[in-house]
Amino acid sequence: MKHIVKIMTLLVALSALWISLLQTSIIPESYTWLLPLYFIISLGCYGLLMVGVGLMRFPTCPHEAILLQQDIVEAKGFLKGKGVDIGSD
């Protein structure tokens, strides 16, 4: 519930800023109308950046890798017992 309150507060603050920029002449009106679009594009770029950083920092799990290799060996043995050709070892 706390996270949604932060998001809503941010959206209200950004909306208030946008409306105030529309009513004043600080930024030309043609640019001010594009601010929500820029915000959405920036949010998408931020999301892609966070996914990329998460993939680069993906943790390795040596213990899980060993368990996976054991499962693969077990599955190959099971399939060989059933007469399935699994290719080269």
Residues whose CB falls within 8 Å of the CB of residue 33, separated by 6 or more in sequence, listed in order: 22
Mind listing the pLDDT tens digit for each residue in 37-89?
888 898 899 999 989 988 888 777 888 889 999 999 999 999 998 888 887 65
Question: What angle separates helix 2-23 from helix 35-56, to the nearest 10 degrees?
Answer: 140
> Are the C-beta atoms of 21 and 32 separated by less than 8 Å?
yes
**pTM of this prediction?**
0.48
